Structure 1
Amino acid sequence: MIHYNLICDNGHAFEGWFSSSDDFERQSERHLITCPTCTSSTVSKQLMAPAVSTGRKKEARQALVMDQAQKETIAKLREMVKTIRENAEDVGERFPEEARKIHYGEAGQRGLIGKASAEEAIALLEEGIEIAPLPALPDDTN
């Protein structure tokens, strides 16, 4: 299939798909191609930029592939997150409340993990409560 940008004699631009260049010519000669805006059958091809393959697509694909150093870093991060999870209490949605209790001495010191909205996290930080998000690692969400 060939894609052409077309224009009618009234200046309306539209596009069309044809099985070949000859197919376009045959249909055009028989006035079978009409403008969808004004139904004019005097239609011609517009200049089109050619589809040129560049190295950018290859570079983009290569950027998605991790090198050995990146793989090692991800492995270290994964181990760190595992250690944190093993040594912390998961309090889920109660995280902001439980973090405040510990910070203000209403509960004993312990490691916590849980969930907080962006607004809740900002509020905790503004109160001087030290928190940090656990990173979402490749393959954790895929």
Structure 2
Amino acid sequence: MIQFSLKCDHDHRFDSWFKSARAFDALAKAGHIQCVVCGSGNVTKAIMAPRVSTASSTDKDDPAVNPRVSALTRPRTEFEKKLTALRNEIEANSDYVGNDFVKEARAMSAGDVPERSIYGEARLDQARSLMEEGIKVIPLPFIPKQSTQ
């Protein structure tokens, strides 16, 4: 895993983790990286300082020795705290339908299944199609935990 500092064309700056530098390049080329603040798809790597670890390899996973271990999951800014709260609220009160999101949204709209709060995966063109059909959807500013495990 590698962490990149990123910025959008509106100069919003944020960090994100990627499997590799090649994975970042592939996702960026495919248009799958968006600004967490404004949603812009024009995101590039920002200049960042390298991190040098002084902990031994046996200590690297120990939060007492390496404070970055626990810091990876702890929100740092007020925005990140609010985003974490939003994520927790959605995941606690909605059903995750994964790749069936579009199918489930259409079925609810048609009255084929009972309405409920759902969230899941959809491509941009699929989300636009739902909106054009009058089905209310909104992109979430995070990747659901189920799709990252």
- TM-score, with structure 1 as normaliser: 0.45
- TM-score, with structure 2 as normaliser: 0.43
- Which has the larger Rg? 1
